[in-house]
Amino acid sequence: MHEIVISPEVLEVVAARSPTRAILDSFDPHRTAHVVVDLQHGFMAPGAAVEVEFAREIVDAVNDVSRALRAAGGVNVFLRMNLGTAAYGTWRSFLDHSGDEAVGDQVRATFTPGNEGFELWGGLDVATEDLIVDKTRFGAFVPGASDLHELLQARGVDTLIISGTLTNVCCESTARDAMQMDYRVVFLADATATRSDAMHNATLNNMAMIFADVIWTKELLKAFV
């Protein structure tokens, strides 16, 4: 698991906030969505195109949250990165900086529907009532990237719980935009994962400063009791 470190400076800022700003103090499961970001074979499997070893270690925590929220009347949303669309070809800023062309082609193939890499990780607890939403950008709320916002609004959701991978890419991008679209965001410190502790902690510190309440899974689960 990641060795999680929140800087004293950030903790001081968080502690100085009014207690009424804490999301869990006014937590309503019925208006909450657990957004599980990109826990697909292409990120999870040993030797996968974009393997994130730490991501395999967060599955139990993700499942615990999914089961608790489902039982409490909330909604689980499983995001999938989909690079097999025409939208990928319009993403020049990413394509031009993605490195080796052959590697880029492999990554695109991995996250194209029909390839095992595109599918959700087999160890996830996914129920028939859960939502599976494909996205074509790192952040699910980028205009045209997915219909996540519309699906959430139709269900009266105002609070998001973010888990998944990569902490500093798709999780962070989705969380930042969600907060700016007026969702209340909980970012799970021990149910998100990336390729190094340094990358993980950089995002957690950024999230805690302004974009989200950064909490641990056990702390969140107490809200369901």
pTM of the model: 0.95
Q: Which residue has the higher pLDDT, 209 or 17?
A: 209
DSSP 3-state percent helix, strand, coil across the chain (nearest 5): 50, 20, 35
Tokens of 2: 């990641």
Per-residue model confidence (pLDDT) at position 134: 97
Per-residue model confidence (pLDDT) at position 20: 64
Tokens of 144: 């045209």
* CA proximity to 61, closest of 148, 138, 2, 133: 2
In angstroms, the CA 162 to CA 183 distance is 12
In angstroms, the CA 43 to CA 38 distance is 8
Per-residue model confidence (pLDDT) at position 185: 98
Is residue 42 within 8 A of residue 50, CB to CB? The reply is yes
Q: What confidence tens digit (pLDDT) does each residue in 34-65 have? A: 999 999 999 999 999 899 999 999 999 999 99
Is residue 49 within 8 A of residue 106, CB to CB? The reply is yes
Mean of pLDDT values over 14-18: 84
Per-residue model confidence (pLDDT) at position 65: 98
Tokens of 198: 């340094």
* CA proximity to 62, closest of 26, 83, 54: 54
Cis peptide before 11 (omega within 30 of 0): no
How sure is the predictor about 221, in pLDDT bands with cuts at 50, 70 and 90? very high
Measured CA to CA in angstroms, residue 195 lies from 55, 84, 198, 201 at distances of 9, 24, 9, 11
Per-residue model confidence (pLDDT) at position 28: 95
Q: What confidence tens digit (pLDDT) does each residue in 93-145 have? A: 777 776 666 667 888 899 999 999 999 999 999 999 999 999 999 999 999 99
| Domains present along the chain, CATH in parentheses | 8-224 (3.40.50.850)
Q: What confidence tens digit (pLDDT) does each residue in 132-190 have? A: 999 999 999 999 999 999 999 999 999 999 999 999 999 999 999 999 999 999 999 99
Is residue 188 within 8 A of residue 162, CB to CB? The reply is yes
Q: Which residue has the higher pLDDT, 223 or 172?
A: 172
Per-residue model confidence (pLDDT) at position 182: 97
Over its C-alpha atoms, the chain yields an Rg (Å, rounded) of 17
SS3 label, residue 160: strand
